Structure 1
């Protein structure tokens, strides 16, 4: 089976979990993903083949080009994905397509051309049309303020997606002899999309016209040991507060690190700073702070007092499963949604806006570190499903057997 994506670490890590579960159940899987060193090393560490697709996701994210260049970037991603999936799909009976719209459309197009079944999976429900909420607006394309009806907004969303990604999707389709699609969103989502999120953290309500399969989050038990130096820091004092923003570049990252460290210290806590794509770093040489790179979050989050993060789907799910209070500082896309869910569940705080200040982050930490929040986080953790990747793997293998 071929598992394809284009996006950040949060788009790649679930495929690692699914690939491993497929292998344990007797299946085989390879992954198409951006050629970033982080992803190459992660897949190599579990013995899963990576087929590089498109340009570096990290370089594209950190470049932060203007919204007007989005169609051009989409075309680059889609073209690279068509080439990679065409090369990688040989001998595969199912393509699982995830990530940004142009990448999913490209992967599904190749599967269509080759006569292979394809499934679209998403790691958050905000791209699935629902009359209960509005869609996300794309950068540079805000919705008219006078339009408040959700169905109207979803209609505008479909037209916006066609305008942004139509040429990027249809040009490579023409190159492999396929007709154009006139509704990119409908083509990407399909009739039976998979929602790879936890039902407690991300409850899906049945919606007319969409037969959504919610599998649970694709989390792989991570057995990697924590680095010795990190273990030494953890054992040298009380649990620190973790601060990291994953694959978000945070162009004001120097200020973010200083604000975070000072706010955590003001709570009388030690600080663990994760470099991430923002390249966060220590602000001084005091021994109450430690900086870490790539690390096993499952093992780490169970040993910290709270997690301050950007609200990516994977980080939110891992922190929730670990039963640790969270402060979510959302940057973009689905991250405000996850921040809201953390607050609604009472397992942490949604920071107001993407730029933390000392006062705002201190207030959020005060709530997150309160005993009641910690107790609620532990209670919710006990309800989180752990079998999402297994459920998805069994569905894929059963579908393959039905076709044989």
Structure 2
């Protein structure tokens, strides 16, 4: 079977698909991965056919629109408006790339950003279609699987309503681009009712998340599957630079601070907050420069600025982890068994920050626009000194490693191919 996996997003959207792709190839299927141009080398070096998406995600996230989205969205309405503006910039190009990517596929696995267009294209062609998600977007009364629960900790009607509101929001963000695409295919415009039916009832949905972290709600239908994380030993032969090796060997385990693909209007000021927080907490640190290019001209000897290291290699060596709350980085932190706290910028990041805190394996999340050296230092102190938190993090990591989310996902995909 020919399968195309679409990962239109940042590294956290692509890396789980590589793990899933390994499982599909091992089961005898032909796999192509469609991703932004930034990730061509990553896809091809993993042994997969690369189906190009012309958008450069790094450039998009660091554009003026990208910086406004990640830094200036103070509420969901602003966030949705800013994201819709970004989608409008790349929608037509992505539509053409998607059609080319899935042309020869028997089955297409889309993500949230590609769902509407993939659903339209496969509806017309008769190809099978499965949706892969890494954060909860199907409404439920269970707050542990609700992106923005109105009454956290209470399983009532209001939590399901908040899930429907969040889902409508995703429809609204992509509606204009998707309906332009549908018109080009000769299909009628998609209403929210149409979107919700496809999303909640007519499409198999795979959640590449552990049920121990996001429990499978009892009120979800049989077509929704929480499979476990999709992880692979990404770069088992990776070796650190001499500078990184020497830094890690020179003292106690450091604290990692990194915001991944999040852009930043003033990376120098953000770096200074991180340095000050580490000094206040009395900790050595590794600052990941990330897509924002975090850096300082006055770097203390006990702080190292890192361009790249695989999370599965680096995180187990840390005393604590401060991260942005992306689904992939959160999974890596949980697998490492190291307490973490989230500095949430947008989208699903507050949800993952909250789940880490509720599970007792990390501190309370901080919103990016509220970040100070003082509250970051307090977070660092908590995750590096709370012994019960460390024990819970280690115990959860052991349980996660007993799961095989990839095998479960492969089984669901093969079932989708066999049945209408």
Q: TM-score, normalised by structure 1?
A: 0.87
Query: Deviation at 1:357?
Result: 1.4
Structure 2 CA distance for aligned equivalents of residues 173 and 89 of structure 1: 16
1:105 is matched with 116
Q: Do 2:216 and 2:225's aligned partners in 1 also have CA atoms closer than 8 Å?
A: no
SS in 1 for 2:363: strand
1:356 is matched with 371
Structure 1 CA distance for aligned equivalents of residues 272 and 394 of structure 2: 29
Q: Do 2:273 and 2:372's aligned partners in 1 also have CA atoms closer than 8 Å?
A: yes
Q: Do 2:138 and 2:199's aligned partners in 1 also have CA atoms closer than 8 Å?
A: no
Cα deviations by residue, 1:98-153 (Å, 9 ceiling, x for unpaired): 132xx21112222222211001111011x21123457659xxxxxxxxxx945555
Structure 1 stretch displaced more, 351-360 or 159-168: 159-168
SS in 1 for 2:30: coil
Structure 1 CA distance for aligned equivalents of residues 419 and 189 of structure 2: 27
Describe how 1:328-367 pairs up with structure 2 within 5 A: 328-354=342-368, 355-367=370-382
Q: Do 1:18 and 1:393's aligned partners in 2 also have CA atoms closer than 8 Å?
A: yes
Q: Do 2:55 and 2:94's aligned partners in 1 also have CA atoms closer than 8 Å?
A: no
Describe how 1:26-105 pairs up with structure 2 within 5 A: 26-36=28-38, 39-65=39-65, 68=81, 70-100=83-113, 103-105=114-116
Distance 1:221 1:159, change over 3 A: closer
314, 332, 335: which one pairs with 2:328? 314
221, 227, 231: which one pairs with 1:219? 231
> When the two structures are aligned, how many residues end up with a matched partner?
388
Structure 2 CA distance for aligned equivalents of residues 117 and 268 of structure 1: 54
Matched, 1:120 2:115: no
Distance 1:315 1:158, change over 3 A: closer
Structure 2 CA distance for aligned equivalents of residues 377 and 158 of structure 1: 31
SS in 2 for 1:395: helix
Query: Deviation at 1:215?
Result: 0.9
Structure 2 CA distance for aligned equivalents of residues 366 and 79 of structure 1: 47
Structure 2 CA distance for aligned equivalents of residues 161 and 372 of structure 1: 38
Cα deviations by residue, 1:277-316 (Å, 9 ceiling, x for unpaired): 1211145243212221121110111111111111111111
Aligned Cα root-mean-square deviation (Å): 2.5
Distance 1:202 1:314, change over 3 A: same
Query: Deviation at 1:399?
Result: 3.9
Structure 2 CA distance for aligned equivalents of residues 358 and 311 of structure 1: 19
258, 265, 270: which one pairs with 2:272? 258
Q: Structure 2: which 5+ runs fail to align?
A: 69-77, 150-156
1:196 is matched with 208
374, 379, 382: which one pairs with 2:398? 382
Structure 2 CA distance for aligned equivalents of residues 154 and 285 of structure 1: 44
303, 313, 320: which one pairs with 1:299? 313
Structure 2 CA distance for aligned equivalents of residues 241 and 155 of structure 1: 38
1:144 is matched with none
Describe how 1:118-197 pairs up with structure 2 within 5 A: 118-125=129-136, 127-133=137-143, 149-150=158-159, 152-153=161-162, 156-157=165-166, 160-183=169-192, 184-191=195-202, 192-197=204-209
Q: Do 2:8 and 2:35's aligned partners in 1 also have CA atoms closer than 8 Å?
A: yes
Structure 1 CA distance for aligned equivalents of residues 318 and 33 of structure 2: 32
Query: Deviation at 1:225?
Result: 1.6
Q: Structure 1: which 5+ runs fail to align?
A: 138-147
Query: Deviation at 1:168?
Result: 1.4
Cα deviations by residue, 1:329-360 (Å, 9 ceiling, x for unpaired): 11111111111111111111123321421211
2:73 is matched with none
Distance 1:281 1:6, change over 3 A: same
SS in 1 for 2:50: strand
Structure 2 CA distance for aligned equivalents of residues 198 and 252 of structure 1: 35
Q: Do 1:105 and 1:187's aligned partners in 2 also have CA atoms closer than 8 Å?
A: no
Query: Deviation at 1:201?
Result: 1.5
Distance 1:162 1:216, change over 3 A: closer
Structure 2 CA distance for aligned equivalents of residues 231 and 88 of structure 1: 41
Structure 2 CA distance for aligned equivalents of residues 374 and 11 of structure 1: 28
Distance 1:172 1:295, change over 3 A: same
Distance 1:277 1:15, change over 3 A: same
Structure 1 stretch displaced more, 253-262 or 202-211: 202-211
Structure 2 CA distance for aligned equivalents of residues 158 and 164 of structure 1: 10
1:9 is matched with 11
Q: Do 1:82 and 1:110's aligned partners in 2 also have CA atoms closer than 8 Å?
A: no
